[in-house]
Amino acid sequence: MSGKVQVEMALNGEATEFLCEPRQSLLEVLRDVLGFTGSKEGCLTGDCGACSVVLDGRLVCSCLVLGPEAQGKAVETVEGMAKGNTLHPLQQKFLEHAALQCGICTPGFLVAAKVLLEKNPNPTEHEVRYALAGNLCRCTGYDKIVRAVLDAATVMQGR
Among 10, 79, 104, 134, binds another protein (CB under 8 A): 134
Half-sphere CA count of 64, side-chain side, radius 13 A: 14
Say if residues 25 and 40 touch (Cβ distance below 8 Å): no
Q: Binding string to another protein for residues 90 to 129, with x set by CB under 8 A, is what? A: ----------------------x--x--------------
Residues 119, 127: Cα–Cα separation, whole Å: 11
Burial class of 156 by CB neighbour count within 10 A (0 to 12, 13 to 18, 19+): middle
Q: Binding string to another protein for residues 17 to 46, with x set by CB under 8 A, is what? A: ----xxx-x------------------xxx
Say whether residue 58 binds another protein (CB under 8 A): yes
Q: Binding string to another protein for residues 61 to 80, with x set by CB under 8 A, is what? A: x-xxxx-xx-x---------
Half-sphere CA count of 7, side-chain side, radius 13 A: 28
Binding region for another protein (CB under 8 A): 1-2, 5, 21-23, 25, 44-47, 49, 52, 55, 58-61, 63-66, 68-69, 71, 112, 115, 130-131, 133-135
